[in-house]
Each structure stands twice: as C-alpha cells, then as structure tokens.
Amino acid sequence: MSRGVFITLEGIEGAGKSTVVQWLGEWLRESGRTVRVTREPGGTELAEQVRRLVLEHGRERLSAEAETLLMFAARAIHLDNLIRPALAAGDWVVSDRFTDATRAYQGAGRGVDGAWIETIATRVHAGLAPDCTLLLDLPVAVGLARARARRGPADRIEAETEAFFERVRAGYLALELREPQRIRRIDATAAVPAVQAQVRAALAPWLTGAGRP
Ligand code: T5A
C-alpha cells in the first residue's frame, strides 16, 4: 500500500486555517478518501496537554528555546501516535500547522537559531515532510482583527505584538521562496469560497494522483 498524502496548513493568526482545514477534511471525505484532520501543537491527548503548557499564560518564564523544545515534544508525540500510523495506513492527514510554524514563529518571530531548529526537525521527523503546504497569507492587521473579533482572551503567543507577527509572516514568505514546489501561497484576504477554489487548484496534482509520494 502506498502511504497517504500529508497536507499542512500554515499562516499567521486569523488567516483562516481552521476554517479551511474543516472544509477540506469534509471535501476530501466526500470524494471517498479516508482523512485525519488534526492540529499542532496538539492532535493527540498527550500532545494537547503539551499545547496547554506552551500556550497558557503562566507565572514562570518560558524562553524561546524552551518554547521550541515543547513544540517539538508535542510534534514527536503527534507523529508517533497519529501522523505516521495514519500515513502508513494510506490515509490523508490534514494538519493545521507543522514544523514550518516553528520555523516562522520561533525562528523568524523569536530569533531562535534556524540551524538548531533544523537539527531537531531532522531528528524528530527524518524522512518525513509535508507533501503540500498551503500558506494562507494576509496582512497582519487583517489576521489579528479577525482573530480578535472571534474569541476571548489571547493566549501567550496571540498576545504578542504586531511587529512579532510581521516577522512571522516574513518568515513564512521566505520559506515559500525556499521551497516553492512544496509551499503554495493562498490569498487569504479573499472570501471563503475563493480561498477554497485556490486550495482545490493547489491540491489538484495530489487529487489526480500525479503528485503522490
Ligand atoms: N505555534 C504553533 C508556534 O508558535 N510554533 C509551532 O511550532 C506551532 C505548531 C496555536 C499557536 O501556536 C503557535 C502559533 C499559534 O499562535 P493555532 O491553534 O493554529 O496555533 O491558533 P491560531 O493560528 O491562533 O488560530 P486562529 O483560529 O487564530 O486562526 P486560523 O485558524 O487561521 O483562523 P480561523 O479559521 O479560526 O478564522 C478566524 C476568523 O476569521 C474568519 C473565521 O470565520 C473566524 O471568525 N474567517 C474569514 N473571514 C473572512 N474571509 C475569510 N476567507 C475567512 N476565513 C476565516
């Protein structure tokens, strides 16, 4: 059996990832595929506990390096218990964020050494990268306005400054330049149906089987 297809969604806060992930999972299932929709940090019971540790406000200082390691700890658990078994069973995995988020948030946003991040990434998921990453891109002010209109108090990372999210967005766009085959930029300022049309177009090679791993 060939392994399943691994799709990730990335972007700053309020870009519309969760909205796309839910729709995409349903749309793929309607076309007869078995799909696991998941998210990071989190996706499994234990990894969701790590998510709470890293996103909740706490009294103790959490350094950028500690934050990076917690993201990878959650990811290692997620990979072992959900992502790798699902892909091995031939399922599609659609994840709201993966290692590009660490590159953008901890690397570009917090200034954590990129080479160190790649060393850990290689250790945690050697031989496995997303087949296609959809980068939902929009101006920071638009994303933050959407995110803030939707929910209550900001978590530890959402409470960051606009300058931080500008660095995160620039980090994502630099990743797209580095890996244009894998990372497809989606204009996330568009209305939801137009965003969905862009996603369908970006995934076309995978849907026809032409891009299968
Ligand atoms: N993180 C994560 C790291 O720092 N490093 C890492 O390695 C990882 C994995 C959790 C946090 O962890 C950080 C990044 C994050 O700060 P998360 O759970 O993905 O990440 O949380 P957020 O990005 O904060 O999720 P949001 O809910 O803010 O953003 P989404 O999912 O991009 O947006 P969504 O779909 O919830 O939409 C937000 C609002 O906009 C509307 C929706 O209806 C909703 O109200 N909307 C649109 N409005 C107009 N037009 C469209 N096209 C719209 N699409 C959605």
DSSP letters spanning 94-149? EEE--HHHIIIIIIIIT---HHHHHHHHHHHHTT---SEEEEEE--HHHHHHHHHH
Determine the distance separating the centroid of ligand 1 and the alpha carbon of 10, expressed in angstroms.
9
48 lines ligand 1 (CB under 6 A): no
Contacting residues for 124 by C-beta, under 8 A, at least 6 apart = 72, 75, 76, 79
73 lines ligand 1 (CB under 6 A): no
8 lines ligand 1 (CB under 6 A): no
**Atom 16, ligand 1: residue with shortest CA distance:** 157
Give the residue ranges of the chain where pLDDT is below 50. Answer: none
Determine the distance separating the centroid of ligand 1 and the alpha carbon of 142, expressed in angstroms.
12
**Identity of the amino acid at 202:** A
**Atom 23, ligand 1: residue with shortest CA distance:** 13
Q: Give the CA count within 13 Å in the CB-facing half-sphere of 193.
A: 0
Strands (E), the chain: 6-10, 35-39, 92-96, 132-137, 183-187
Q: In terms of pTM, does the model score above 0.95? A: yes
pLDDT of amino acid 150: 79
Contacting residues for 9 by C-beta, under 8 A, at least 6 apart = 17, 20, 21, 24, 94, 95, 96, 97, 133, 134, 136
Which among 8, 10, 17 is the best mutation to test ligand 1's pocket, defined by most ligand atoms within 8 Å of the CB? 17
